[in-house]
Amino acid sequence: MVGPRWGAIVRVAFLGPEHSFTHMAAERLFPGAEYIACRSITEVFRAVEGYEADYGVVPVENSLEGPVGETLDNLASTMLHVYAALEARISLVLAGRRGAPRLYGHPHALREAARSLDRLAPGVERVAVSSTSEAARRAAEEGALCVCSHRAAAAHGLEVLAESVEDGPNYTRFIALAWRDQPERGERTSIITAVPDEPGSLYRLLEPFASHGVNLKMIYSRPIHGKPWHYNFYIDMEGSRLDERVAEALEEARERSLFLRVLGSYPVLRGP
At closest approach, how far in Å is the CB of 69 from a copy of itself? 6
Considering the rule CB under 8 A, would residue 161 count as an interface residue with a copy of itself?
Answer: no
Strand spans (E) along 131-246: 145-148, 160-162, 171-178, 188-194, 216-224, 227-238
What residues contact 247, with CB distance under 8 A and at least 6 apart? 241
Interaction pattern, residues 213-252, with a copy of itself; x per rule: CB under 8 A: xxxxxxxxxxx-xx-xx-x---------------------
**Distance, CA of 116 to chain centre:** 24
Q: Which is nearer to a copy of itself, 41 or 262 (CB)?
A: 41
Q: Which of these ranges, 17-25, 140-148, 193-201, 257-265, lies near a copy of itself under the rule CB under 8 A?
A: 193-201
Considering the rule CB under 8 A, would residue 35 count as an interface residue with a copy of itself?
Answer: no
Burial class (CB in 10 A: 0-12, 13-18, 19+), 21: buried
**Residue in 100, 127, 162, 269 binding a copy of itself, rule: CB under 8 A:** 127
**Cβ neighbours, 10 Å, residue 207:** 15
Considering the rule CB under 8 A, would residue 122 count as an interface residue with a copy of itself?
Answer: no
Q: Which is nearer to a copy of itself, 31 or 66 (CB)?
A: 66
**Cβ neighbours, 10 Å, residue 175:** 28
Considering the rule CB under 8 A, would residue 51 count as an interface residue with a copy of itself?
Answer: no
Per DSSP, the residues of 38-61 read: ESSHHHHHHHHHTTS-SEEEEEEE
**Residue in 4, 79, 198, 244 binding a copy of itself, rule: CB under 8 A:** 198
**Footprint of a copy of itself (CB under 8 A):** 61-66, 69-70, 107, 111, 127-129, 167-171, 197-200, 202-204, 206-207, 209-211, 213-223, 225-226, 228-229, 231
